[in-house]
Structure 1
């Protein structure tokens, strides 16, 4: 593409939502890859489904809202809402078709490995007896058939639950009579994946889905009627919350009210089983007012049940990734006192390659230490049984000043965060819900300790959530430091969130929405100036998403000025690389592998004096303008070197990395086939490369 062609077509950018679809295709490719262990392929297929559910309930729902409002203006990538919606539905349809082809291939491969999914008709006598007993004793009592007729209106169909549409005829009735219709919800509080009994000498492990068992016994729910057709359907509703923070007297109560409304969100997508009865389909489409977003599925609806399969199967280790027990960070392994160690050196911890327990242990020690005066922490997403919550509660109950910023608006974690907020308040913590109109997404922990006559600040800054579960699955960076400038800025940041402090001049931090975009733009422009002067100039930026137009334009300008720019962007990327004179010095790569790439690391060559930053923020408009985000410089040269090695591993990956082409499609990263490098597998050997004597790789 020439620059003129780009300007005329308006395609110098890639649309954000279409880019997301490309990302989910890359997840699907992991499910299709024969080199991926079979049960892990099934898990990736589950992730494709859960990703798509969230995307449709939020992003596609938002586009539908724009269409209903009559909004016709094009976005900066050249799409109107109506045009984008049509393109998305087409792409998603193709993806779903490919997903279910992959499902059928995986089930065939599982069958060869003696793992099988059976219909009721395939069961042997022993299995039928066991399943019949389970239905009558456990399932039948919790089922509720809901008829739809003149006296009984259409029941509430909950979002993303599987239901059965039942078309019935009265016994002895005429075939020409209009059929009767009812719906039955598949109980969400029972396991959908049913393990079938097997003979002691059999190698086969068999499973059946709960809906198949219910479908076989559906006649027991409708005595006096004959089931003509029984098919599955599933509705996805708009899940985006609209919260009036300005007018809310109690934000917690306002969010609870909106969560209840989520059940009634406008239907966005209707999934139906292949062969769905036309009479039932007409009723559903009329009720849900859905025309285009109807997906006919050739297989079981909602493949997220596959995420449970690896834990249910007892089989060869070859069908799963090798087990991995992350080591305790070396810096803390032989020293029980965190404060002594951190007074001597800063420490970087790389999850999941090093275990999250170090952070938990640090908070526990701080809670128990009589010299600790205060603990302050932000919580965005935490696990269902978080040890951090208990440690903070213990600290408050022992008389320490504990302040916790709980983000109640963390999408799909609102209810859990409300529960944590109440528990912390009950324990005596000061719980703050952040600033009006902004989500608090920064990840920071501050411990203030009395040491002799002075107070000393211990700070942890992270790129990911304080969540012990996701820390085993996501790649994230955590920095422990006692650097005075970082400590003072940490105190000021909490004052900003909890009080009215706005005038602080940051010594180390860059904060969104105050000055992060300006700072990033100045760093990019500085690289352009270095390049123009013939000095070393390079940018390496690792993030989850890049979609802000201003940031993309700054990168285009730096590339045109001669700066080499390497972007490692896992998900959405609206920048189009490889355009002559505009982005031909920019590479974009994405890595989708065993762990979810989640860390944000920003490197600027700076004329031979490199600067490295950690951040909670991606380069998206929401992160830079509508969230409290944090970007922290790395002062310690040794830790700078570690982060540069992490970046280099990603740049050298030629097994799982995909490179973004000018067309907007992703292609396998080039590399010497005899020297394969899989960055995540190399990172598993963390103790062999984290502290090498050699200089940085970059």
Structure 2
């Protein structure tokens, strides 16, 4: 099933050993775009992927490209380990991004044609009949007009603040006074709080749905905002600013206040990208580029700027029409807990493995809820990185604290773009009496772990949940993640030590089971990889199967290259960025890299080392990226029960068998689809049959 990979033209030395991280990300977003182009996918699922391409690119521009521009402004011109200077990399990134955006809008136009066949239309104002136009006129004057604020730009009124990733209209005007030959300019912000799409009334009993975009409605009525002037051009534009926070954690007396201050500064971040409507008036374009000092980062958009409304609003407006979506996933409640009200009894007897979204997150939430109400529970400790807006966990933790339990929550305030929400949760938890800790200076807390300490007979017992994904009930329906419940004594002791390090002044722990970043994870990973190399040289079973979101750490990649040369068979399942070049002669002939992009976001980090026939299996919060290994608190937890190990191995093997949604990385950095040899295997859809991957666990007492 594996595709034969060509190695011609790829050198095995120096920078040619690696794919550039950011160019690899562009390839990842193109794989997302391919899902939007898939004619076999339901139409609104394709719309969702088009939206994700846009939101992904927004973040990439505001963080990664912004960082490259910062390097250039600082005069940094050195090549990175992949052989690129900042300026050289920027040119390639913008060229490829522009090409991808052009393909994205071609797919968008194709999608709108197909939606029209389903009775879903996006007419312009002029395409509406007279009755519809009258309705839209009324809506504009009663609802939209009072919200709009035209902002003129002239000598007495400097260019107003343009908010990042908000839609605006650039208006070029001329005076109605015949002797006034000057050209005037103004901008109008498209109100984001009224929705991007406005539903247009249709005939009673009609199955048609018609929507007009808010900016189109405003364009038609633009003269009502500028009496005495004649608009000669109205064009959309959108600005993306640098969104990376620059925190002085060492000098900050209160990290929460420091982050709140930086969030306010984010709106003033340096301009990074300017998106303009195709055919924009030259005068408007010149003014915008001069004001924002945008050079190559100007994208001309052949369609509606910003397609994120395709996921934010369109599905809610369309409603039913089940054939436009994938079939609803019937999540199951973990069978181990299905017929009991006592989570603690079950976990005392055996470890339990969960696979989301096929098994519902309610299981994890119910565990926390039981712990918060159990009179024998003395303490609950938990990390929170990204939490949903209405998380049931927050109320449970607050209730536990109010009942006198020791509740400690490590809240990561620096989780990018979730800072404001996490600040709100932190304050709510503190108000309820929880001990809220913001982690360690200079490190993000990315580990996903819960520890419950319970009084049982004459001793205390620790119950632990470790996961690969966030404690977020919303994303647990959309991401594939794995979680482990255990009361294993050694894991419990390590969990206590980890929380002590995060909340106190404990010295680095001598871990018995955990592998923890930044303390020793990179070192231990390289040791595990090197151990497989020794086994291969000795003729013992040697294999590595690793599933992660991204692989970009040079030292880990070099260790994988050495293991490959020693004869270790290495299968990497990397959803996003991968800087390793597989299939290169005398370097990585024994390595394959595949990416699976499908209905759910592949998010689990699972690692299997064959170890001479005595496998080591881990689940982890950490990708093999430099930031995870050196600048974050991360966790690798062993799966000790042999049957649960087999369940994880089955999951990995199912991914390796995928010949529908898997793409193989080629030595040159591009991806090709897996060859569909034999029966079709679509790992995500096949995993819905829980018997395909989950080994039925025997009863045992530790």
How many angstroms does 1:561 deviate by? Answer: 0.3
Aligned to 2:214: 210
Please report how far the alpha carbon of residue 597 of structure 1 lies from its aligned counterpart in structure 2 after TM superposition: 0.1
- Give CA deviations for 1:449-505 in whole Å, capped at 9, x if unaligned: 000111100000000000000000000001000000000000000000000112421
Candidates 343, 354, 357, aligned match of 2:359:
354
Counterpart of 1:447 (choices 440, 448, 452) is 452
RMSD: 1.4
Please report the TM-score for the alignment, with normalisation by the length of structure 2. Answer: 0.97
Q: For the residues of structure 1 that align with 2:253 and 2:492, how far apart are their CA atoms?
A: 34
The answer to whether the 8 Å contact 1:89/1:293 transfers is: yes
What is residue 517 of structure 1 aligned with on the other side?
Answer: 522
Runs of 4+ residues deviating >4 angstroms: 1-5
Correspondent of 1:153 among 158, 162, 175: 158
Q: Which residue of 2 aligns with 1:437?
A: 442
SS at match of 1:189: helix
Residues 97 and 439 of structure 1, relative CA distance in 2, 3 Å threshold: same
Partner of 2:34: 29
Please list the CA deviations of residues 204-223 of structure 1 after superposition, one character each: whole Å capped at 9, or x if unmatched. Answer: 11111111111111111111
Please name the residue that 2:461 is paired with: 456
* 2:171 matches 1:143: no
1:296-351 Cα offsets, whole Å, 9 max, x none, are 10000000011122232145322110011201010111111101111111101100
Q: Aligned ranges for residues 478-497 of structure 1 at < 5 Å?
A: 478-497=483-502
Superposed CA deviations along residues 632-682 of structure 1, whole A, max 9, x for unmatched, are 01111111011011001100000000000111110111241x400000000
Corresponding residue SS for 2:11: helix
- Aligned pair in 2 of structure 1 residues 503, 162: CA closer, same or farther (>3 Å)? closer
Unaligned runs of 5+ in 2: 1-5
Q: Which residue of 2 aligns with 1:337?
A: 342
Question: What displacement does 1:686 show?
Answer: 1.4
Matched with 1:171 is: 176
Change (3 A) 1:309 1:119: same
**Aligned 8 A contact 1:310 1:320 in 2:** no
Deviates more, 1:317-326 or 1:545-554: 317-326
Q: Where does residue 606 of structure 2 map in the other structure?
A: 601
Equivalent residue runs for 1:165-244 within 5 Å: 165-174=170-179, 177-244=181-248
Unaligned runs of 5+ in 1: none
- Choose the corresponding residue for 1:561, options 546, 566, 582: 566
Q: Which residue of 1 aligns with 2:412?
A: 407
Q: Shift of the alpha carbon at 1:3? A: 10
User: Following TM superposition, by how much is the alpha carbon of 1:367 offset from its aligned partner in structure 2, in angstroms?
Assistant: 0.5
CA distance, structure 1, for counterparts of residue 519 and residue 110 of structure 2: 51
Residues 671 and 536 from structure 1, CA distance in 2 versus in 1: closer, same or farther, beyond 3 angstroms? farther
Deviation at 1:125, TM superposition (A): 2.5
Correspondence for 1:290: 294
CA contact (8 A) 1:272 1:297 kept: yes
Q: Distance in 1 between matches of 2:320 and 2:456?
A: 55
Residue 422 of structure 1 deviates from its aligned partner by 0.3
The answer as to whether partners of 1:564 and 1:586 remain within 8 angstroms in 2 is yes
Q: Is 2:247 the partner of 1:251?
A: no
Q: CA 1:567–1:366 in 2, change beyond 3 Å: closer, same or farther?
A: same
Q: Indicate the residue corresponding to 1:474 in structure 2.
A: 479
Cα pair distance change 1:541/1:86, threshold 3 Å: same
The equivalent residue for 2:105 is 100
Q: Tell me the distance in 1 between the aligned counterparts of 2:12 and 2:692.
A: 49
* Cα displacement (A) at 1:688: 5.3
For residues 521-532 of structure 1, what are the structure 2 equivalents within 5 Å?
521-532=526-537
Equivalent of 2:627 in 622, 627, 633: 622
Q: Does 1:612 align with 2:617?
A: yes
Aligned to 1:325: 330
User: Which stretch has the larger CA shift, 357-366 or 683-692?
Assistant: 683-692
Q: How many residues align?
A: 692
Aligned partner of residue 635 in structure 2, secondary structure: strand
Q: Shift of residue 693 of structure 1?
A: 9.2
After alignment, is 315-324 or 61-70 more displaced?
315-324
Paired residues of 1:168 and 1:180 also in contact (CA < 8 A): yes
Work out whether 1:424 is the aligned partner of 2:429.
yes
Q: How far apart are the structure 1 equivalents of 2:11 and 2:497?
A: 45
1:6 match: secondary structure: coil
Tell me how far 1:2 sits from its aligned partner: 7.1
Give 2:506's aligned residue.
Answer: 501
Q: Does 1:275 find its partner at 2:298?
A: no
Moved more, 133-142 or 38-47: 133-142
State how far apart, in whole Å, the 2-side matches of 1:183 and 1:33 are. Answer: 38
Q: Is 2:316 aligned against 1:311?
A: yes
- Work out whether 1:387 is the aligned partner of 2:392: yes
Which residue does the alignment assign to 2:20?
A: 15
Q: Say whether 1:40 aligns with 2:45.
A: yes
CA contact (8 A) 1:3 1:581 kept: no
Taking CA–CA contacts closer than 8 Å with sequence separation of 6 or more, which of the two structures ends up with the larger relative contact order?
2
TM-score, length basis structure 1? 0.98
- The correspondence for 2:682, drawn from 678, 681, 689, is 678
